[in-house]
Amino acid sequence: MKKTTLLNTKAKFIIALFLVASLTFGFTVTQKSDPEKDRVLISLLKFALTKGHYQPKDFNDSFSELVYKDFIKNLDPSKRYFLQSDIEDFSKYKYLIDDQIKSEDLTFFKLAYSRYKQRIEEVNQFYAALLKTPFNFNKREDIDIEYDDVKYAKTETERIKKWQKELKLNVISRLIDRIDLEKAKHKKDAGYKEKPFKEIEKEVRASTQKTMGDFFKRMLELNQDDGFSLFLNTITLAFDPHTTYFAPQDKKRFDISMAGKLEGIGARLQKKGDFTKVVELISGGPAWKKGELEVGDIILKVAQGSKEPVDIVGMRLDDAIEFIKGKKGTEVKLTLKKIDGSIKVISIIRDVVELEEVFAKSSIVEKKGVKYGIINLPKFYIDFKKASSRNAATDMAKQLEYLKQEKVQGVLIDLRNNGGGSLRTAIDIAGLFIKNGPVVQVRYRGEKPNIKEDRDKKIQWDGSLVVLVNEFSASASEIFAAAMQDYNRAVIIGSKQTFGKGTVQNILTLNNYVNYPKDLGALKMTIQKFYRVNGGSTQLKGVTSDVALPDRYAYMDIGERDEENPLAWDKIESAKYTPWNKYANFDEVVNKSKLRVRNSSYFNLANQNAKWLKKQQKRTRISLNFKTFNKELAERIKESKTFKKLREFDNDLVFKSPTYELPQLEKDSILTQKRANWHKNLSKDAYINEALNILSELKLKSTEHLVKS
């Protein structure tokens, strides 16, 4: 979860509001029915969102329409269960949901959810019959997977035809995999006789039927609580994408993951329609270390080691996670749909997140006879419970001191994929590079901003500085990068813009505010917004790089702007600050880099790749003719090979560990291997290379800092 930790006193105000609410509503409930629990939850959430959310919405007809559309979409994103007549039945509540929320009336929810369960049961009765006989793969037909443009079936016959296409797509994709597997077996063993098409097709239909049987079994086990949790989240997410209701079981899972005790692959997943999408890789986790799983990947199937994979398309996120997570040391195989549309199977050995992988680390590189330092910071970490434990700010100060001892002439800070962490450490780290002054402005709704300052006049590093970011540098990363940019302290290089999360959330355990015997779960609610010292928000727009480098996500809707109902960008009054004015050639260096990037064969190819990926993302009509499907797949694979050179880049630089770390490397072979892998990746990294080009060209008006220690 992208989350910026912020200790504040304002939370007490929200707690006080909840205590008043508990008295006002009179929720002293003993053994009541579940409908009473639902009423309590609706009342609590309504009050909290109205009184505590940073930018509350009016419960009016517009809000009602939004909840109406989103709840139906959340129930049936592929429009394969509901009929048009259902939508007509629901439509009379389109502008009444706001009134029902106010009066704790659950009529719309009960109607929509009970009809949804009814339609699932109906489909369960006929889907198997569609898999009894072979599909006509010679027929010229296709399926549109841009479901927003698809109409609901008007009749049962239309719905059956819709499901026939869905199942045919499932079978045809499995067929391609199985045929490729047969060819691979024959290639490995010339004596192996490949199975005929008819036999493979029959086996694939049988396995598809088994998978669908498991799927419907899980779907039919969904209960009223599952549906109501979804309804409550439809309401909370209408406020902003980070305001979320946690049902009791979800809250427990959240607590475990925040404590770092959850064993698995180390990825944050999100439901996108019928699909389970990777939205973040946890630094230090097994997926992060393996490097094959990427943000934006869609997980289609999950297999436990060598066992038959389970199709998780359409599966509830909770259930999908149960298949993916597991004990340390066990293998999970994921069938992925990559952002280029290709299908890839990867293997990950489950493990716990290795804390040391999250800590700041540094490397030394020599370019044209001059030394430079690189600091990688995966997260703005801190442990508020243990004052003596390591934190990102003190570690960063130590790394800078080590680099000064190495007599480096410039420092590059790599914040790529850094999803944030502690606000306090972001402020303290910014203070290592400026004398003193404001770093960020934090604002509660309707109040003047609270200016957070660096009050320490000591500067740990006053030499040249470059900060490398990408689309997944978020929250605290954006605060630090924005401060360095506003002070003209560093050149910001990387993606066109960072993630764009400029809000703060607070977790409220609901049972703390009402005397109720059952577990009510929790509410994660947006209560604050971040602003740069220049007054602009980091929300939505993030930080725009001084030098934008094309990458595979350049044209994708990635980040906060890809979320539903994000808070808008806005601007407040600038804080008073004095820009750092010690570069002699800042603009010249930035312009030279831009020209170099424009003329770079690597970055031009990267830009072409990004455009091609966007084109693949827009491709929503898929042929269900076997020959055409196979031909189009082969064409995409051939086109993707055009960009193979992007993986062959080598900057011809040698990266080494700083002197202080050498004794540790002699004692620790595992650490030695980790550093070797990191240094190898740095030598293959075109983005690091261009950042170092900039660093080598930056000149200061004074070189006095270079003789300091």
User: Is residue 231 within 8 Å of 109, Cβ to Cβ?
Assistant: yes
Both tokens of 510, joined, read: 């609901």
Smallest CA-to-CA distance from 412 within 439, 368, 377, 456 is with 377
> Which residues fall within 8 angstroms of residue 33, CB to CB, at 6 or more apart?
none
Both tokens of 54, joined, read: 């940073």
Long-range contacts of 50-54 (CB under 8 A, 24+ apart): 51/14, 51/17, 51/21, 52/14, 52/17, 52/525, 52/527, 53/239, 53/240, 53/243, 53/445, 53/525, 53/526, 53/527, 54/240, 54/444, 54/445, 54/503, 54/526, 54/527, 54/528, 54/529, 54/567
Burial of 306 (0-12, 13-18, 19+ CB in 10 A): exposed
Both tokens of 448, joined, read: 């003047």
Determine whether 486 is an active site residue: yes
DSSP 3-state of 311: strand
**Could you tell me the CA-to-CA distances from 402 to 84, 377, 672, 686 in Å, in that order?**
67, 15, 18, 25
Three-point CA angle 684, 341, 267, nearest 5°: 65
Helix (H) or strand (E) holding 362: strand 361-367
CB atoms within 10 A of CB 103: 11
For 112-180, give the secondary structure using H, E and C: HHHHHHHHHHHHHHHHHHHCCCCCCCCCCCEEECCHHHCCCECCHHHHHHHHHHHHHHHHHHHHHHHHH
DSSP 3-state of 425: helix
Catalytic one of 22, 43, 362, 475: 475
Buried b (16+ CB within 10 A) or exposed e, 312-328: bbbbbeebbbebbbbee
Render 534-581 in DSSP notation, one character per residue: TSBB-TTT--B-SEE---TTTTS--SGGGSSSPPPP-B-PPPP-----
Alpha-carbon distance of 598 to 576, in angstroms, equals 36
> Which residues fall within 8 angstroms of residue 471, CB to CB, at 6 or more apart?
495, 497, 498, 499, 551, 553, 556, 558, 559
Alpha-carbon distance of 648 to 650, in angstroms, equals 6
Catalytic one of 351, 414, 486, 546: 486
DSSP 3-state of 455: coil
Both tokens of 107, joined, read: 């009529």
Determine whether 475 is an active site residue: yes
User: Is residue 378 within 8 Å of 425, Cβ to Cβ?
Assistant: no
User: Is residue 612 within 8 Å of 340, Cβ to Cβ?
Assistant: yes
What is residue 285's DSSP assignment? S
Characterize the bridge pairing of strands 522-531 and 503-509.
Answer: antiparallel
Both tokens of 375, joined, read: 């600091």
User: Is residue 175 within 8 Å of 134, Cβ to Cβ?
Assistant: no
Alpha-carbon distance of 570 to 575, in angstroms, equals 15
Helix, strand, coil shares of the chain as percentages rounded to 5?
A: 45, 20, 35
**Torsion sign over Cα 51, 52, 55, 58:** negative
Catalytic one of 501, 524, 529, 541: 501
Q: Which residues are catalytic?
A: 475, 486, 501
